[in-house]
Structure 1
Amino acid sequence: MNKKFYLLLTLVTFPLAAQNKYEKGYIIDLNNKTIPVEISYQDWARNPNEIEVKHNGEIKKYTPKTIKEFGLDNGINYVSYNGNIDKSSQFYNRISEIKQPEWVEISTFLKTTVNGPSKLYVHDNNTTITYFFSKEDGDIKPLIYKIYRDNQTTTKKNEQFKNQLRSNVYCGDVNLNKVNYSKNSLEKYFIDYNSCITNGEFQHRQDVITKNKIEFGIQAGIRSEKNYVNYPVYEASHNFSAVSPTFGINAEYQFPFLQNRYALAMEANYFHFKRQDVQANSRFGLAVERKIIEIPLGLQYYVMNDTDHKLFVGAFYNIKLDLANSNYTEVVYSESSKTDIDNISSFSLGAGYQWKNIGVKARYNINSKFDVGEYMKGETSSISLNLFYKFKKLEF
């Protein structure tokens, strides 16, 4: 079972690595020539060290040493940086005792967060966020900020970036003590500075940010269920199949990177399966009933995630909650002999399509086994088809 699940999970997550979405943009080569291209934009959670572009039907890869800059038509911009970055850790258990930055040379693309006469850039490697600046198309320099350990119990801050701002990017009456080494604070400072030196003519173009998203919905459909029951002691067995209605609720959290393509999804679905007095052999009959709330929890990937059209696949672990002691198999004879079916967890694979707020999805529950010692054995699997409606969306 585990091998099957991991294989299916691999197949579900493979599109993330395999799919390239090209968006219109440009690159600036080392000769300062601007070339219109299509860029494989991945909404990087960390700064890229290489990009893939399509130009005249040909796919090429570029690094910070082969181009000066690239950007998308929507305003997202990255510049090449081949220079020093402070490698000092900001994790408490690994804070350095050295006040000065510990430089290491890197080659990467910096994301432009304020684009004007003076520019602010950001570098994110998933553990540390570092800011850089340039003035009037000059060299890009790191803004120096470091937390270091003064002794075993106390820490201090090297806030040299404030002196850098005072010496290079300063206009008007500004209290630099109120400027923090953070995105919001530094962005506001550079926007205000550019506005000050241009007499209010500077217009900041807001960056396109992928936000956290939470969606809630309801769903209803049909479920085709198969249950195999075997009582070796009675030499009685039977395959039970039936189609029953199902309905429930769903919720998903879309992660704020990779254009919201990955989501953590959860559902709660009710269904009722009941078959009685099925003749298993000449002496015995069998019956089975399952009344359950099933809670699938898993990872969902949007192969297509446009505004109106969405196509997704997912892998889930299903928790099943019994209702009113109605999960049982039964040998039907002169005196019935009931055997309770305990909670049966399973894995499932699904896919679906959504148009605006409505959609359809299919789910396959992989065959799972249940038994009570040697007395009773069984297997269950199902396929379901649901219509759903997303009635609430939150962004933050």
Structure 2
Amino acid sequence: MNTTKLTTLLLLSSTTLFAQSNYEDGFIINLNESKIPLQVKFEDWSSNPNKIEVIQDGEKKQYSPKEIKGFGTNNGQLYLSYNGKIDVSSQFYNQLTESREPIWKEESTFLKTIVKGNTNLLMHDNNNIVTFYYQSSNNNIQPLIYKIYNDKVSVKKNEQFKNQLRANVHCGTTNWNKLKYSKSDLENYFIKYNTCVSGDEGTSAKTVNNTKSVIEFGVQVGIRNENNKIAFPFLDIEHEFKGTSPTVGVNVEYQFPFLKNRYALAIEANYFHFKRQEVEVNPRFGMGMERKIIEVPVGIKYYIKNNDEHKVFIDAYYNAKINLSSANYAEALYSESFKQELSNISSFSFGLGYQWKNLGIKGRYNFNSSFDVGKYMLGETSSVSLNVFYKFSRLTF
């Protein structure tokens, strides 16, 4: 299989995997309060969705907040339907209004659950304005009112949400002066409240979708199919050096603490040795080549599917190469033998892989790149590799 066909195959495979794996196991809550298992299309909901797409009974369907009471994924995300008032008052100081009252707008949307328990804390984020809501057991969702306004004398705050919490969501003691209308403050407040009213810490109080940073360390071993071309323009001669050699390496990746650790920064160090000598180009001329290199790929990895057991990913790298000793040369065998050092070897690569628990397999294609061979020769290289890897350590913080 040539490199063009393999590149096309990798791209088509990753596209197919992305399309198939963009649905996650989850559920909807219908209007009768029944939870129906299905697959939910993951959209990286940075803002609140107004509709969702699911696969139910083998068919694609869409639901709006008026058709269901909520939806969620099996890894902890929960969104509840809300059909009511949203405060659209600007929170930017140069756009403040003079009125202390919210500017209400009727909307249908799905609110993200921040804390789930005896009383839920929910959030609406349209990328400009963030507002919070609460829901007691079997009651309607209510907005927590907070507004910054300018009464022509000074900038003031309407902190009515504190009175709402005192009256409806309060247990124990609270320093109201320090409580802010922020995700972290309200999240802590609702966790403490749910723990207080339940009398059993950690059972009814639950933080949903608390993604943390992850660092993973691994080792890998595999094979690498090289396609190297050396040209001697002065004599109008060129030759391809093809072959397969083993490779071994280590890898480290940092998974970012958002979007369920789908994005990662990865770095590897892989050793390989490629050698072909005394290849007869014509009856008067022969060539040889040797490369002994540590390749250091640095790049980005995206997990199409990412859970505790199964992971599917694609990645892209810039590959720097460290030459080892003097074993990186092209050799010309003409009237006499002379060696030319290989230099300025770097490349870009694209790959995909699958991981089951700590064990996985990945394929990668290094795109064609040129390099220097002394003063008189030119070089090009590309490669395909297949590696088995094992993740031996994982740090979460």
Distance in 2 of aligned mates of 1:314 and 1:303: 10
Normalised to the residue count of structure 2, the TM-score between the two structures is: 0.80
Distance in 1 of aligned mates of 2:74 and 2:292: 54
Is it true that 1:26 corresponds to 2:28 in the alignment?
yes
Change over 3 Å in CA distance of 1:8–1:57 after alignment to 2:
closer
Change over 3 Å in CA distance of 1:194–1:278 after alignment to 2:
closer
Normalised to the residue count of structure 1, the TM-score between the two structures is: 0.80
Distance in 2 of aligned mates of 1:218 and 1:302: 19
The letter of the residue matching 1:27 is I
Match of 2:379 in 1: 378
Tell me whether 156-165 or 230-239 shows the greater mean CA deviation.
156-165
SS of 2:186 mapped into structure 1 = helix
Is it true that 1:317 corresponds to 2:318 in the alignment?
yes
Distance in 2 of aligned mates of 1:327 and 1:147: 67
Q: Which runs of 5+ in 1 are unaligned?
A: none
SS of 1:119 mapped into structure 2 = strand
Match of 2:40 in 1: 40
Match of 1:185 in 2: 185
Alpha-carbon deviation of 1:294? 1.6
Change over 3 Å in CA distance of 1:9–1:302 after alignment to 2:
same
SS of 1:221 mapped into structure 2 = strand
Distance in 2 of aligned mates of 1:256 and 1:274: 43
| 8 A Cα contact 1:42 1:259, kept in partner | no
SS of 1:233 mapped into structure 2 = helix
Alpha-carbon deviation of 1:225? 1.4
Alpha-carbon deviation of 1:335? 4.5
Alpha-carbon deviation of 1:78? 2.0
Change over 3 Å in CA distance of 1:367–1:198 after alignment to 2:
closer
Alpha-carbon deviation of 1:38? 1.3
Alpha-carbon deviation of 1:41? 5.3
The letter of the residue matching 1:176 is W
Alpha-carbon deviation of 1:311? 3.6
Change over 3 Å in CA distance of 1:192–1:239 after alignment to 2:
closer
Change over 3 Å in CA distance of 1:241–1:197 after alignment to 2:
closer
Alpha-carbon deviation of 1:267? 1.3
Alpha-carbon deviation of 1:369? 2.8
| 8 A Cα contact 2:30 2:67, kept in partner | no
| 8 A Cα contact 2:14 2:352, kept in partner | no
Alpha-carbon deviation of 1:135? 4.2
1:71-82 aligned at under 5 Å gives the runs 71=72, 76-82=77-83
| 8 A Cα contact 2:30 2:70, kept in partner | yes
SS of 1:162 mapped into structure 2 = helix
Distance in 2 of aligned mates of 1:374 and 1:8: 36
Distance in 2 of aligned mates of 1:97 and 1:6: 54
Cα RMSD, aligned residues only: 3.8
| 8 A Cα contact 1:9 1:315, kept in partner | no
SS of 1:220 mapped into structure 2 = strand
Distance in 2 of aligned mates of 1:372 and 1:155: 69
State the aligned residue count: 388
SS of 1:110 mapped into structure 2 = strand
Distance in 2 of aligned mates of 1:135 and 1:224: 62
Match of 1:212 in 2: 213
Q: Which runs of 5+ in 2 are unaligned?
A: none
1:110-129 aligned at under 5 Å gives the runs 110-125=111-126, 129=130
Change over 3 Å in CA distance of 1:279–1:146 after alignment to 2:
farther
1:43-54 aligned at under 5 Å gives the runs 44-46=44-46, 47-54=48-55
The letter of the residue matching 2:351 is G
